[in-house]
Structure formats: structure tokens, C-alpha cells
Amino acid sequence: MCAEDPNLVSIIMPAYNCEDTIENSIISALHQTFTHFELIIIDDQSIDKTAEVIRRFAEQDKRIKFLKTVQNGGPAKARNIGISAARGRYLAFLDSDDAWLPRKLEIQLGAMQKNNAVFCFSSYVIFRHGSLYGTVYRAPETTSFELMLSGSVVGCLTVVYDRVMLGDHLFSNGAEYLEGSFWSKFINYIGHEDYSTWLKIFQKIDSKSSKLIVGVSEPLALYRLREGSFSASKIRSAIFQFLIYRLIFKLSLARSLYHMVCYFYNALVKRAVRFVRRSDLEYRFAERI
């Protein structure tokens, strides 16, 4: 894949009925200390005032590219439209209810250059909608395909990757893997599409070159957890995890069960993180979340 601009970062933001949060997300991108980026926002047929908010910002800043889907298809399809329209060498992802800290891109691009890495992720803050407190999820120094099978350590909102070196990896909701299976009687898609995408990328990276994947320990993003959100549905999340093992990556039953045990263990460990006030992160837009 040849990027039109070898130094440009293309930020992909899917949006659907998020008029109450997207303004903050857009502002957090526009206030990055690294300024050479394009912000591609894909409105997935919102029925509220989301499009109006996006259009207002797009008229004020030429770095914003406003796209619309033909019909509502979910965040995976919206991200894919954004990836197809991207001109930059680097891809980054920010959902319309999350936010970045100002030095996010600067720090991650610096870490990638220092380590000759092609994929970077970071620590982030998880907070509940309307709360003044959050929990910091600490990113490890690196990860791999095998390690990620036991549970994701990569937050989608923290990812930056080099698409010249890795190619474009489109997101999939896994519906094609369900066709003809027992599970198709109960569900019509497999969630965790971002997790599946990172696994496919890591599968391409040689295990001897784990330094190609670098984690930044400093929290660089804010992840909003809403009541009743996908992330809050633990049972459904576990089912999707098992199906990723069995249907997408064709792991044996024994290996799938082993990684499910690791997945549950890591989920418990993930809760054992320290609480911080968002103000401690000196995030200038915190009061607007």
C-alpha cells in the first residue's frame, strides 16, 4: 500500500447518534500537538444532530473529511469506509464517544520511530458516562499474537499503525464465519471486530520481531463506558471471545478452552487497577465529558 503522504496520520472516527459526545471527541483530535493529520468522520446514518455537529467542525477545519454511509451498517463497516478514503501512512482510531489527551499522537509516533515499530498502543483511562473518576488500564511494553489470544491488551482508541508496512486491514463483524455453523441459529455476528483485526495483524508479524509492536505506559486516551454498552455485557463478550478462537482462528477445542481460562483470569486482573481522578491527567476538556 502506498500512502499519498508518508508523514500523514489518518484518524478514523465512525459516528452514530452521538450528538452529545462527538464534539468533545473531535476537539480532542483537533488539539493534538502533532498537527499533520486528517480526521475522517463517517456518519453511519445518524437520526439525531450528529451530522450537523460534524458539518460545523468540517467547515472550520480543512483537516476534517466528512463521509456518510449509504445505509446503517455498524462501526466496522464505517471504519472500513474511512480506511478506504485515508491518504496517510499511519492509521489511528477514535470513536465518537471517546477522547484523546493532547500529546497522544506525538508520543506514539515518537515511540514508533525510536523502536522502529510498525504498531503502537498505549495505556488509557476507562470511565463511566457522567462519572468524575476512572480506572487506568496499563499497557504492557509489547504483545504478540499468542499473548493476545488470552485477552486483549490493546484499546482500539489507542492504536496507531503503519499501513505501508502492514497493509490495510479491514474490520469484520465475523458474520461470514457463522454461515452454516451451529451458532448461526442464535447470533448473526461475532463482536470484538477490533480485537480480531489486531490478532490478524499480529499473526503477520514474526514472533522474533516482537519489538515491532510497542506499548506506551502513559495513559493517552479516555474510553467512555456507558451503562448497557457492549463492553458492559460480560456474558456476550465471553461468547464472542470463544467464537473468535473456534471459528475465525480455527483453534482446537482444548486450546480454545485454555485461552478462555486465561481470558477470565486476565479479566479479573484488569479490574485490579488503581483509580485516578481525570483531573490528575490534566485533560483540558474533562469538564465537557
Contact 159, 198 (CB under 8 A): yes
pLDDT score of 270: 65
Secondary structure class of 114 (helix, strand, coil): helix
User: 68-76 long-range CB contacts below 8 Å, 24 or more apart?
Assistant: 68/42, 68/43, 69/42, 69/43, 69/44, 69/45, 71/45, 72/16, 72/44, 72/45, 73/44, 74/44, 74/173, 75/14, 75/16, 75/44, 75/171, 75/193, 76/171, 76/172, 76/173, 76/193
Mean pLDDT in the chain? 88
Cα–Cα separations (whole angstroms), residue 122 to 134, 211, 253, 287: 16, 14, 32, 23
Sorted by where each begins, the domain ranges of the chain are 1-100, 103-155+164-279
Mean pLDDT to the nearest integer, 16-20: 94
pLDDT score of 5: 77
- Considering the domain delimited by 1-100, tell me its CATH architecture: Alpha-Beta Complex (3.90)
pLDDT digits (tens, 9 = 90+) for 131-150: 667 788 889 999 999 999 99
Mean pLDDT to the nearest integer, 44-66: 96
HEC letters along 246-260: HHHCCCCHHHHHHHH
Q: How far apart are CA 198 and CA 149, in angstroms?
A: 10
Q: How many alpha carbons lie under 13 Å from residue 286 in its C-beta half-sphere?
A: 19
Cα angle value 72/76/15 (rounded, 5°): 55
Contact 15, 50 (CB under 8 A): yes
**From its phi and psi, is residue 228 left (phi > 0), alpha (psi between -120 and 50) or beta?**
left
pLDDT digits (tens, 9 = 90+) for 224-279: 887 655 555 778 889 999 999 999 999 999 999 999 999 998 887 766 554 555 55
Q: What is the dihedral of CA 118, 31, 10, 147, to 10 degrees?
A: 40
pLDDT digits (tens, 9 = 90+) for 203-223: 988 655 556 999 999 999 999
pLDDT digits (tens, 9 = 90+) for 185-198: 888 888 899 999 99
Q: What is the helix (H) or strand (E) element at residue 81, kind and residue range?
A: helix 75-85
Give the whole-number percent of the chain exceeding pLDDT 90.
69
Q: Would you tell me how many other CB atoms lie within 10 Å of the CB of residue 50? A: 23
**Would the pLDDT of 287 be above 50?**
no
C-alpha cell at 135: 480506572
